[in-house]
Amino acid sequence: MTDTFTLAHLSDPHLPPLPKAQLRDLAGKRALGYLNWTRNRHKYHRREVLDALVADMQAQRPDHVAVTGDLVNLALEAEFTPAQAWLESVGTPEDVTIVPGNHDAYVWATRHHFAGTFDKYVRGDAEADDTRFPFVRRRGPLALIGVSSAVPTLPLMATGRLGRAQLDALDRHLAQMSADDAFRVLLVHHPLQSSSRMKRLTDSKALRAVLKRHGVELVLHGHDHIHSTMWLEGADRQIPAVGVPSASALAHRHYPAAAYNLFSITRDGNQWRCVQTVRAIDADFRVKQIKQATLL
């Protein structure tokens, strides 16, 4: 058995507090989002929760960190600089990989800000001067594959889409990796299965078909703000697809308190071994282990 590589996964920090918005920024979808934040969401997304969770994660000394989107809330221009400072406090681009969520591309006017602000965190090893999806980053035994499901949508909608160009490129990347001895981790914001028409990944069927042809070892996502493990059909085995609650959330309604995942990944002969540990925050802002499961 070889050395263990530890991958941490958190998602949907929805970085609080929301900066003061200008009246000119609050049109269309943003107006509804701002109203929702000021009346409701600000009570549950708390910076002290996020800070406590990240401090505990860093104390575990993971080898790499994956963040699966929704760093900001309304994609206001004023949100991206604080989000960049927060991300830099989590780790360097060498140690942290991110993909965007639907809130990071909330409206057409600022849909490109995410890639421009966080380009070093979404740049694949092969792209020296460009940022594109999908990207591939090799870290230890891992091949981290990032795709973007973040697209602006109509008010009250939170769907995602990869599009044919990304799907075709992902198909090529995975085909080229078929001979590699790598633990492949797909990072995407939206879950690949959803019962909500308003929140689903609209081309999830096509994405699942790519995974069925080529397989990956693990899929990580956010978006639903809940703990979840789904099993997808792969090329030669079932693929665990794991979601995690919002990294800044207090427990409310059916949503659990903020949590993050640690995946301990080891090569055991010809097989991979992957153990998931879930650490979550309690009412006293203390972070504790609440679950451990063997995925592979």
Residues 6+ away with beta carbon under 8 Å from 44: 249, 250, 252, 255
| Sequence ranges of the domains in the chain | 5-17+27-294
Work out the percent of the chain whose per-residue pLDDT is above 70: 98
Residues 47-76 have a mean pLDDT of: 98
Q: Is 285 left (phi over 0), alpha (psi -120 to 50) or beta?
A: left
User: Distance between CA atoms of 127 and 137, rounded to whole angstroms?
Assistant: 10
Min mean pLDDT across 184-188, 193-197, 205-209 is at 193-197
Residues 13-42 have a mean pLDDT of: 90
Residues 6+ away with beta carbon under 8 Å from 187: 66, 68, 97, 98, 99, 144, 145, 146, 147, 220, 221
Q: Which residue has the tokens 């994609």?
A: 75
pLDDT in tens, 77-126: 999 999 999 999 999 999 999 999 999 999 998 889 999 999 999 999 98
pLDDT in tens, 208-262: 999 999 999 999 999 999 999 999 999 999 999 999 999 999 999 999 999 999 9
User: Distance between CA atoms of 61 and 51, rounded to whole angstroms?
Assistant: 16
Does the pLDDT of residue 76 top 80, yes or no?
yes
Amino acid 26: pLDDT = 85
**Mean model confidence pLDDT for the chain:** 94
Q: How many residues does the chain have?
A: 296
Amino acid 126: pLDDT = 81
Amino acid 130: pLDDT = 57
> Which of 284, 288, 289 has the alpha carbon at shortest distance from 49?
284
pLDDT in tens, 260-276: 999 999 998 889 999 99
CATH architecture of 5-17+27-294: 4-Layer Sandwich (3.60)
Amino acid 145: pLDDT = 98
Q: Characterize 184-218 residue by residue with b for buried, 16 or more Cβ atoms within 10 angstroms of its Cβ, and e for exposed.
A: bbbbbbbbbebeeeebbbbbbebbbebbeebbbbb
pTM above 0.95, yes or no: yes
User: Distance between CA atoms of 273 and 271, rounded to whole angstroms?
Assistant: 7
- Cis check for the bond before 13: say yes or no (omega within 30 of 0): no
Amino acid 43: pLDDT = 95
Amino acid 128: pLDDT = 53
Does the pLDDT of residue 1 top 80, yes or no?
no
Does the pLDDT of residue 202 top 70, yes or no?
yes
